[in-house]
C-alpha cells in the first residue's frame, strides 16, 4: 500500500490544504502565489493531460515531488529539479530558544529577500502564508527563519530553513528547526521535510535534531515545451 508521504503534494492538496488548490480532478495545483507545486492523480493519459493544463503559459512552471521519477507529460519539458531525501522526525519535543519570534505579514519583504538569497526551496509572494514562520533577528535584521509548507493528515512539513551567510555557524537554523518542530508536535502533527540529497551538511544537521531518512524522492520542474 502506498504511504501518503510517497505522494505529498497530491495528498496535501486533496486533504488538509484543498483550500489552496486552484485545479482539481485528475490533477491538482497549488495557488501559484504559494508556490509551483502540482500533482497528477496517476500517470494515466487523462491525468497527464490535466497536469499540463495547470500550466498557464510559456513562462509558467510546476514542480512535482514524487517517490518515483514522474514521466514527462507530452507537450512539456523538464527545466530542473533533482534527487531529494524525505526525512521524518523521530525525536522528543525540543526546548524553545527565547530569541525566536513569530514572524508577521510585515516581515514578508525580509523573508523573501532571505529566501531568494539562500534558496531554501521554491518561494513565491504568498509562501510565508502557508502557516507559522519563525525568525531570529540580530541587530534588528532578520538573520534566519524557518516555517511550514505542506500539511497532510497527521503530518506537517518543515520548510524555508534559511540563514544569511554571515550569520551561519551560530546555531540559528538548529534553534529555528526545533521551534517549528515543537509547534507541530504540540498540535499533534509529526514533522517531516525534504532536502536535496546532495546537501550532506543539511542532512547531518537534521539527523542531529532527530530526523531520519524515510524515502528517496524526486523533484521535477516542468514547463510547456
Q: Residue 58 class from Cβ within 10 Å (0-12 exposed, 13-18 middle, 19+ buried)?
A: exposed
Go through 85-117 and write b for each residue having 16 or more CB atoms within 10 A of its CB, e for each that does not: bbbbbeeeebeeeeebeebeeebbebbeebbee
- Confidence bin at 132 (pLDDT 50/70/90): very high
- pTM (global) more than 0.85: yes
What pLDDT, on the 0 to 100 scale, is given for residue 2? 85
Q: Considering the domain 87-215 in this protein, what is its CATH number?
A: 3.40.630.30
Fold match between domain 4-83 and domain 87-215: yes
Mean pLDDT of 6-35: 96
Superfamily of segment(s) 4-83 = Gcn5-related N-acetyltransferase (GNAT) (3.40.630.30)
pLDDT 10s digits, 133-152 = 999 999 999 999 999 999 99
Asked if residue 125 has pLDDT above 80, the reply is: yes
Tell me if 155 sits within 8 A of 181, measured CB to CB: no
Burial of 169 (0-12, 13-18, 19+ CB in 10 A): exposed
pLDDT, residue 85, reads: 98
Check residue 222 and give its pLDDT. 98
- Taking residues 37-54, report their average pLDDT: 97
Half-sphere exposure in the Cβ direction for 139 (13 Å, CA): 2
Task: For the chain, give every domain's residue range.
Answer: 4-83, 87-215
Amino acid at each position: 500500500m502506498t504511504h501518503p508521504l510517497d505522494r505529498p503534494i497530491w495528498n496535501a492538496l486533496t486533504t488538509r490544504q484543498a483550500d489552496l488548490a486552484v485545479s482539481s480532478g485528475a490533477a491538482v495545483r497549488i495557488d501559484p502565489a504559494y508556490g509551483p507545486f502540482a500533482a497528477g492523480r496517476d500517470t494515466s493519459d487523462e491525468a497527464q493531460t490535466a497536469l499540463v493544463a495547470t500550466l498557464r503559459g510559456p513562462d509558467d512552471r510546476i514542480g512535482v515531488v514524487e517517490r518515483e521519477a514522474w514521466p514527462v507529460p507530452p507537450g512539456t519539458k523538464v527545466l530542473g529539479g533533482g534527487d531529494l531525501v524525505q526525512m521524518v522526525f523521530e525525536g522528543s519535543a525540543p526546548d524553545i530558544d527565547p530569541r525566536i519570534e513569530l514572524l508577521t505579514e510585515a516581515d514578508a519583504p525580509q523573508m523573501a529577500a532571505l529566501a531568494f538569497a539562500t534558496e531554501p526551496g521554491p518561494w513565491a509572494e504568498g509562501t510565508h502564508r502557508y502557516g507559522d514562520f519563525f525568525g531570529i533577528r540580530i541587530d534588528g535584521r532578520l538573520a534566519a527563519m524557518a516555517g511550514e509548507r505542506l500539511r497532510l493528515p497527521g503530518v506537517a512539513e518543515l520548510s524555508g530553513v534559511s540563514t544569511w551567510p554571515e550569520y551561519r555557524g551560530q546555531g540559528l537554523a538548529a534553534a529555528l528547526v526545533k521551534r517549528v518542530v515543537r509547534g507541530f508536535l504540540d498540535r499533534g502533527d509529526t514533522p517531516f521535510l525534504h532536502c536535496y540529497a546532495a546537501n550532506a551538511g543539511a542532512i547531518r544537521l537534521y539527523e542531529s535534531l532527530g530526523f531520519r531518512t524515510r524515502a528517496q524522492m524526486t523533484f521535477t520542474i516542468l514547463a510547456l515545451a
